[in-house]
Amino acid sequence: MADKYSADTIITETQKRISNAFDVFDHESNKTVDVREIGTIIRSLGCFPSEADLHDIIAELEEEEPTGFVRYEKFLPTMTKILLERKFRPITEDLLLQAFEVLDQQKKGHLEPEELTKYLTQEGEPFTQEEMDEMLSAAVDPDKNVILYKDFFH
């Protein structure tokens, strides 16, 4: 029996993970996915790319004449590389907490919905209204109507 930790096995296992994730979005079972789902697939495999990062990746993956679809043959090597090189590492809870603290300029220990909305829809890689609404619906404490960000972390 092969050594389960050999490099080959790791690559194969990685590729199988990629294949599985790809298949979830391959509605026609013809080894293509809609280019708009690429971000979701990459992120669901554990990566935290920014929108700019995704832009670059998609540019690489698209056909010479963009069809709106990405083929698995192109996706697999690109994604394998990303995973093996551990690009777009996860954001640790520490870092995330600090990010919230930075935004909490008055050091209140919580954020007002308007504050968070202002930052996330105007700064960085802005949220759409839908993304903002969805995040608020999950993040806002219904009684106090503020975002108790410290509670997100252990």
Partner 1 sequence: MGCGTSIAVENQTHPSETDGSIRQPSPALTIKAAILIQRWYRRYVAHLEMRRRYTWNIFQSIEYAGEQDQLQLSSFFSFMLDNFTHMNGNGPDLISHLLDSVVDPLTEEVRQLKYEQIVVPESYCGPRLSFPLSVTDTNALLSAFKEEQTLHGKYVLQLLYETKKFLKQMPNIIYLSTSYAKEITICGDLHGRLDDLLLIFYKNGLPSAENPYIFNGDFVDRGKKSTEIIIILFAFLLLYPDHMHLNRGNHEDHIMNLRYGFTREVMQKYKTHGREMLQLLQDVFSLLPLATVIDNKVLIVHGGISDKIDLDFLSTVERHKVKSALRLPKRSVDHLNVHANIRSSSRQSGRSRLDSPCSSGRTSRASRRRKKHITKQGSCSSSSSSSSSSSSVCSPRVSSRNTSRRPPPSPSLPSPTDVLQVPFLDSFVSLEPPEPPRDELERQQVVDILWSDPKNQSGCSPNSFRGGGCYFGPDVTQALLQKHGLCLLIRSHECKQEGYELCHNGQVITIFSASNYYEEGSNRGAYVKLGPELVPRFFQYQVSRSTRKLTLHQRVCVAEGSALRALKEKLYAHRSDLMAAFQQYDIDNTGRISTSEWAQVVESVLRLDLPWRTLRPRLARLGADGNVEYESCFEDISPGEPIPPVTPNLAETLYRYRTDLEIIFNIIDKDHSGQISIEEFRQTWKLFSSHLGVAVNDQTIDDMARSIDFNKDGSIDFNEFLEAFRVVHKLVIKEQQQG
The residue range among 57-65, 70-78, 79-87, 92-100 that interacts with partner 1, by the rule CB under 8 A, is: 92-100
Instruction: Output the furthest CA–CA distance in the chain (Å, rounded).
Output: 60
76 binds partner 1 (CB under 8 A): no
Q: How does DSSP classify residue 18? A: H
Which phi-psi region, left, alpha or beta, contains residue 2 (left: φ > 0; alpha: ψ -120 to 50)?
Answer: beta
Which phi-psi region, left, alpha or beta, contains residue 46 (left: φ > 0; alpha: ψ -120 to 50)?
Answer: left
- What distance in Å separates the CA atoms of residue 22 and residue 43, rounded to the nearest whole number? 12
- Residue choice 64, 137, 143, 154 for contact with partner 1 (CB under 8 A): 137
- Residue choice 125, 129, 145, 151 for contact with partner 1 (CB under 8 A): 125
- Residue choice 4, 59, 65, 143 for contact with partner 1 (CB under 8 A): 4
Q: Cα-atom radius of gyration of the chain, to the nearest Å? A: 19
**Which residues sit at the interface with partner 1, rule CB under 8 A?**
4, 13, 16-17, 20-21, 23-25, 27-30, 39-44, 47-51, 91, 94-103, 105, 107, 119-120, 123-127, 131, 134-135, 137-138
